[in-house]
Structures are given as C-alpha cells and as structure tokens.
Amino acid sequence: MSTATIDSVLPGIKGYYDRMGFQPKSSGDIFDLFISNPYTYPLLVGYENQLIEYAIQNSDDYTIDFLKKNIRSLYPQPTVWSSHPH
C-alpha cells in the first residue's frame, strides 16, 4: 500500500473505528467479545496467538469452519513488534 492509497482510505477507516465507539483496553477482552458475538465487533486489532489458542481449545468442526470462513489476519508492513514484560 502506498502513501497515496493510505491517504485515500484513511478517513474511511478512521470513521469506521469512530463508529465502533470505546474499545476495551485489553486485546484479550476485545477478543473474547469478538468471539462471543463477531457481529458486534467485526474488526479488531489483536494478537495472532489469541486466534491460534482459541482454535486449539475449540477444535470442533463447527468452530474451525467458522474461523476459516470468517476470520482474516492482516499483517502490516513493516510489521509492528510488541514486547510484554513477564
């Protein structure tokens, strides 16, 4: 994506986020809300491991099919690194 492309789509993305309202501070909290009702939070920023852990813990055919059909992971370039204290 180029700077020109970003400039043309950024207002729409910002508007979308603004309409979603206040978001929980924890990626775990919003992920849980998303999983319980994906239509309430159709877009979220989270961690790849949250999705992997959920799929492992809920490996029934229905859940795996739902995840494959409805979840898309986007990776920014350059990527964003995050460190968390243990």
Task: Calculate mean pLDDT across residues 74-82.
Answer: 76
On the question of pLDDT at 84 being above 70, the answer is no
Amino acid at 67: L
Say how far apart CA 51 and CA 26 lie, in whole Å: 15
Closest CA to 32 of 16, 21, 46: 46
Buried b (16+ CB within 10 A) or exposed e, 33-60: ebbeeeeebeeeeeeeebbeebeeeeee
pLDDT attached to residue 65? 93
pLDDT attached to residue 58? 93
Question: What pLDDT digit, counting tens, does each position of 18-76 carry?
Answer: 887 776 778 888 888 888 887 777 777 778 889 899 999 999 999 999 889 888 888 87
